[in-house]
Chain A
Amino acid sequence: MYDVIIIGAGMSGLAAGIRLAYYGQNVCILERHYTIGGLNSFYRMAGRDFDVGLHAVTNYAPKGDRRGPLGRLLRQLRFKWEEFALCEQRGSMIAFPDVSLAFDNDIELLKSEIAAKFPGKSDAFERLLGSIIDYDDISDDNYAGSARDILGETLGDPLLVEMLLCPLMWYGNARETDMDWGQFCIMFRSIFLEGFARPLKGVRLLLKNLVRKYRELGGELRLRNGVQRIVHDDDKAVGVVLDSGEELQARKIISSAGWFETMRMCGQPQEKLEGSPGVLSFIESISVLNQQPRDVGFDPTIVFYNDSNKFHWEMPRNEICDTRTGVICSPNNFVYPGDVQLDEGFMRITTLANFERWTTMSDADYQQAKLKWYDQAVASAVRFIPDFRRHIVATDMFTPKTIHRYTWHDNGAVYGAPEKRLSGETHLKDLYICGTDQGFVGIIGSIVSGLSIANRHVLQAAS
């Protein structure tokens, strides 16, 4: 009998596990995949290290800043700031056909860019800044509401609205077309007010730290152990049955598998559930260069591009991908200490994709589609940045199929379901959800989600 079973060894599950094991709970994390990380994972191919999810860690805060999510989670996990080894971005950009806005980890740059390129809009942007809700004040009461409407009213400039939404939707919006106001505030803070950073060694450094701490505290981690169903006694969750048929019992269960995925494990028919799983999935086209990206003229850390004045945040329905908008990220372009650099240049380009189409084609078609859409994504991106194609020495690509394998999310939905469940509670006693579908997304957001659910529903409830 475990005190707590956690479903999923992603960022949120590992964080919840550390927190609970630290306070003496007998914890077991069950992971279906053969590796940890969930959406934010890594793989090795042809002698090279690749990250799956992470472009950048958001919510950057300098050492000693205790108030933001990063300071809070380091404290709660008993990590030193240095252990995350975060190095700040060089600077990023939102690129539309006629206008671009540069931004970095200091909001003053974005303010000056808006003043220069949207004359007369500075006061409106200040008003927007004043209305961004603080993380702790986001609740079910102020979460809903159309970010598009609020931005339209506050800023009064349709192009500026599209440009601000573009990076925030790309990095954390599970809803098509529009964004919940609460989610907008979370993303605005984490990207524009706090900012991007990355450890030189990428996401694997963060995951290794988390897993090491979890194991040191006596936590149990079982890979290749998917949960088939959650067992309940009337209205109380009491354990799980694994894919292998093995049954495990626990006093409490925290699932990071996603809301709909978890409800299915409870035997709840989908049609009885409110809302729907997310549909937004991606492909990522990765190019390895024989030079540093800066040496081929690519200076920024991340470029969010969109090829018209209207930003379309939708699952592609006519084609299997939509490359009108995308994210170009070079993990080389962070300020690493002592000018240390990754050995090779990496360019990662993320574009929208249709899960259904990618997962139902034949193997031969799948391989062909990867080649075709790699080319299209890169061709689309080089309209906004220097053409790096003649420096490519290797390529790889991940698709909605890959994302599904790592996350097991319905539809390969990167950011989960549009409706978030901030309380983490479910229809069953002693079953809670954490992670993407609870509220916060991104690496720091997921960790905070795991911690807050562990605190609220296990540690606090026991005292």
Chain B
Amino acid sequence: MTPAEIREEVLDILRDIAPDDDISDIDDAKPFREQLELDSMDFLDIVMELRKRHRVQIPEEEYTELASMASTVAYLEPKMKDL
């Protein structure tokens, strides 16, 4: 997957978790938390969805890498480039 495809995939997961939120104008540099009111359980959902859909494993101590769209895509790129 390319970084653009990974970004689209993360957006799709966010749409699933927060169906009532408008995520089309998300700012990649800003933390999700500030834009979407995500709580720690929502981050668990992002991790679980990535595992469910792509078998990507993310250890608990690395959840912090998923803070913003930019950091998430950068973190996932090496894990998902061969998918």
Contact = CB atoms under 8 A, between A and B. Distances in A.
B8 interface: no
A455 B60 CA distance: 13
Interface stretch (A73-81, A293-301, A309-317, A402-410): A73-81
Contact of B48 (A23, A75, A81, A451): A23
A67 B37 contact: yes
B18 A459 contact: no
The residue among A66, A76, A452 with the most chain B CB atoms within 10 A of its own CB is: A66
B6 interface: no
B20 A459 contact: no
Contacts of A24: 52
A460 interface: yes
A453 to B, nearest CB: 12
Contact of A63 (B16, B20, B57): B20
A106 to B, nearest CB: 22
B37 A66 contact: yes
A362 interface: no
B48 A459 contact: yes
B47 A80 contact: no
A80 B21 CA distance: 12
A66 B18 contact: yes
A64 B41 contact: no
Contacts of B19: 80
Given A460-B44, A460-B60, A75 B37 contact: no
A360 interface: no
Interface residues of B, number: 20
Given A463-B58, A463-B60, A72 B16 contact: no
Nearest to A23: B48
Contacts of A78: 16
B20 A455 contact: no
Interface string B21-61: 10000000000000001010110110110011000011110
B10 interface: no
B17 interface: yes
B52 A76 contact: no
A64 B20 contact: yes
Interface string A68-93: 00001001101011000000000000
Interface string A284-304: 000000000000000000000
A80 B20 CA distance: 8
Interface in A445-463: 451-452, 455, 459-460, 463
Interface residues of A, number: 18
A463 B49 CA distance: 12
Contacts of B60: 460, 463
A463 B20 contact: no
A63 B51 CA distance: 30
Contacts of B48: 23, 459, 463
A463 B18 contact: no
Contacts of B39: 67, 72
Contacts of A459: 44, 48
A63 B19 CA distance: 12
Nearest to B38: A66
The residue among B17, B37, B44, B52 with the most chain A CB atoms within 10 A of its own CB is: B44
B64 to A, nearest CB: 14
A139 B20 CA distance: 31
The residue among B18, B21, B42, B48 with the most chain A CB atoms within 10 A of its own CB is: B48
A463 B52 contact: no
Contacts of A455: 41, 44
Contact of B17 (A75, A460, A463): A75
B41 A76 contact: yes
A452 B47 CA distance: 16
A81 B21 CA distance: 13
B29 to A, nearest CB: 22
Contacts of A81: 20
Given A67-B37, A459-B48, A463-B48, 17 more contacts: A24-B52, A63-B20, A64-B20, A66-B20, A67-B39, A72-B39, A75-B42, A76-B41, A76-B45, A81-B20, A451-B41, A455-B41, A459-B44, A460-B44, A463-B44, A463-B58, A463-B59
26 contacts: A23-B51, A23-B52, A24-B52, A64-B20, A66-B20, A66-B21, A66-B37, A67-B39, A72-B39, A72-B41, A75-B17, A75-B18, A75-B45, A76-B45, A78-B16, A451-B41, A452-B41, A455-B41, A459-B44, A459-B48, A460-B60, A463-B44, A463-B48, A463-B51, A463-B57, A463-B58
- Nearest first, the 10 A-B pairs at minimum CB distance are A66-B37, A23-B48, A64-B20, A23-B52, A463-B47, A459-B48, A455-B44, A463-B60, A24-B52, A455-B41
